[in-house]
Amino acid sequence: MSTIGAYFRLAQVGWVLVREGVISALPADDLPPAIRMAKSFAGLFARQKALDRERSDRLAKAVARLGPSYVKIGQFLATRPDVVGTEFALDLSALQDRMSFFPPEAAKACIEGSLGRPVGELFTQFGAPIAAASIAQVHPGEVETRDGERRKVAIKVIRPGVRKRFADDLEAMYLVAHLQERFVPNARRLRPVEVTRTLEQTTKVEMDLRLEAAALSEIAENTRDDPGFRVPAVDWERTGRDVITMEWIDGIKMSDVAALKAAGHDLDRLADTLIQSFLRHTLRDGFFHADMHPGNLFVDDAGMIVAVDMGIAGRLGKKERRFLAEILYGFITRDYLRVAEVHFEAGYVPSHHNVASFAQAIRAIGEPIHGQPAETISMGKLLTLLFEVTELFDMETRPELVMLQKTMVVVEGVARILNPRFNMWKASEPVVSSWIRDNLGPKRIAVDLKDGLKAALRLAEAAPEIAAKTEKLHGQLMQMSEHGLRFDKETADAIGRSEAHHNRYARLALWAIVVLLAVIAVKIG
């Protein structure tokens, strides 16, 4: 998609958002006067039916008009309340990823193209689709095992043409991000271009079903000995870029509390198991399911929680895991200075700020919590408040921490559906305490020494190569200092062509916007 195409696509998206009353519903707080005026002006063009709807309904209607890839974009932005605001993040999280089915013949063609074998040879039965989302749809099926038995499977197939459509829409997203960074100084802290790049990478991963299969396999290995939690087994023989085949799960959705009670499951135990499993994945493994809403969580006949749909996963490095654990432990012990110091040690808050002043802001979050009953304290809410405070101290967006916070809010919400008096702190204490004991006590020193020794050995092995590269760089710098920086003719010509190309498209874009405004004015008139 060309630059001019991105401008037209952006204009189309903007017009849909204006007509559905989404722009006029945006919060006006802290907006520059010019943008507030443009927002008010946009309200004049909204359809009356749209203005009669609630804000979340306006958003859902607009996204439905824009198409499947915008559902996925909306769901991603729902995980970034730091970017779109808490209220709009809640509206976006309510978007239903339920799309129309595409024909089974198209699904079969997709499978055969991905696996290189006929569907009849791969599956003894291939049923009609039972669920469809923005990226893929699911079919029930059966396969014959080596011992001649038939086994039921779930077959997830990528939606035809979704990659091309998403790539086109992403161009418009990048354009918006670049315009934000250039013209809205307050937005630079949120790094909109990097957020868009994260969206691109996340969705590319989600659109390669081999990577979802790998995520399922990894979390299955990590949780092999964990009590009460598992994920479906992957059928690698029948899995490719555009199709994933996995174990069929016969279970009750966690959102169906009445059915869980009727089946005799202990809801309080399920709530504890869910949050403890999530914290194990986060702190112990640094790899967690980042889309654990009730529709993706089942309880099988044995009372095991089974998590499906691993298209979105999050990772935390060792530093981020220590950061999270020390924050939680600091709030529990009311050691607010330590919580502040952790932020500075991790480099999350710029060093020119005062640690004591930051600790004072942390205390403003922590003290009200200690006056409440434990079952009313939300760990997800605590992290949300923490991120709001860090904004005052120029803390840059940490995408991995925001994804963690969003997932924790969702998981905690599911636990409270099962047990309205769920005590987050009591349920998480065994996992958090164990991790702190092993990683923030004497054991930590031994582990750090071991990691440091490994790094030193790797550095020693790479020393000859580093020396050779350093010598080469030194020679190049000496040559530049004596003769200056020079481009060859081909490079200079390429730079000139690129600059001319950029200027031409900039002029075309401006004319396109003028024409579009003229068309709108004619329609209104």
Number of H helices, E strands in the chain: 22, 11
Q: Summarize pLDDT for 439-473 with one digit per residue, the tens.
A: 766 655 555 566 666 666 776 777 777 777 777 77
Q: Summarize pLDDT for 352-391 with one digit per residue, the tens.
A: 889 999 899 888 888 877 667 766 667 666 766 776 676 6
> CA gyration radius for the chain?
26
Please report the pLDDT score of residue 519 as a whole number. Answer: 44
Q: Give the Cα separation of 59 and 11 in Å (integer).
A: 17
Closest CA to 294 of 445, 411, 187: 411
Q: Give the Cα separation of 423 and 268 in Å (integer).
A: 10
Q: Which residues are catalytic?
A: 291
Strands (E), 159-296: 229-230, 243-247, 252-253, 287-289
Q: Are strands 305-307 and 229-230 parallel, antiparallel or unpaired?
A: parallel
pLDDT over 80 at 164, yes or no? yes
Give mean pLDDT, residues 474-488. Answer: 65
Our measurement of the distance from residue 231's CA atom to the centroid of its chain's CA atoms, rounded to an integer in Å, reads: 20
Q: Give the Cα separation of 218 and 120 in Å (integer).
A: 30
pLDDT over 90 at 247, yes or no? yes
Give mean pLDDT, residues 317-337. Answer: 81
Name which residue leads in pLDDT, 479 or 101. 101
Please report the pLDDT score of residue 486 as a whole number. Answer: 60
Q: Summarize pLDDT for 207-216 with one digit per residue, the tens.
A: 899 999 999 9
Q: What is the DSSP letter of 240?
A: B
Name which residue leads in pLDDT, 227 or 77. 227
Q: Summarize pLDDT for 426-447 with one digit per residue, the tens.
A: 888 888 888 877 876 665 555 5
Name the maximum alpha-carbon separation found in the chain. Answer: 84
Q: Give the Cα separation of 154 and 138 in Å (integer).
A: 7
Q: What letters, b where the CB count within 10 A reaches 16 and e where it falls short, cover 96-129? A: ebebeebebeebbebbbebbeeebeebbeebeeb
Q: How far is CA 344 from CA 203, 286, 338, in A?
A: 32, 22, 10
Name which residue leads in pLDDT, 240 or 519. 240
Please report the pLDDT score of residue 307 as a whole number. Answer: 95
Q: Give, in degrees to the nearest 5, the angle at Cα 337 between 333 and 339.
A: 70
In a 13 Å sphere around the CA of 243, the CA atoms on its Cβ side amount to: 27
pLDDT over 50 at 520, yes or no? no
Q: Give, in degrees to the nearest 5, the angle at Cα 131 between 129 and 133.
A: 120
Q: Give the Cα separation of 284 and 435 in Å (integer).
A: 7
Q: How confident is the model at residue 61 (pLDDT cuts 50, 70, 90)?
A: confident
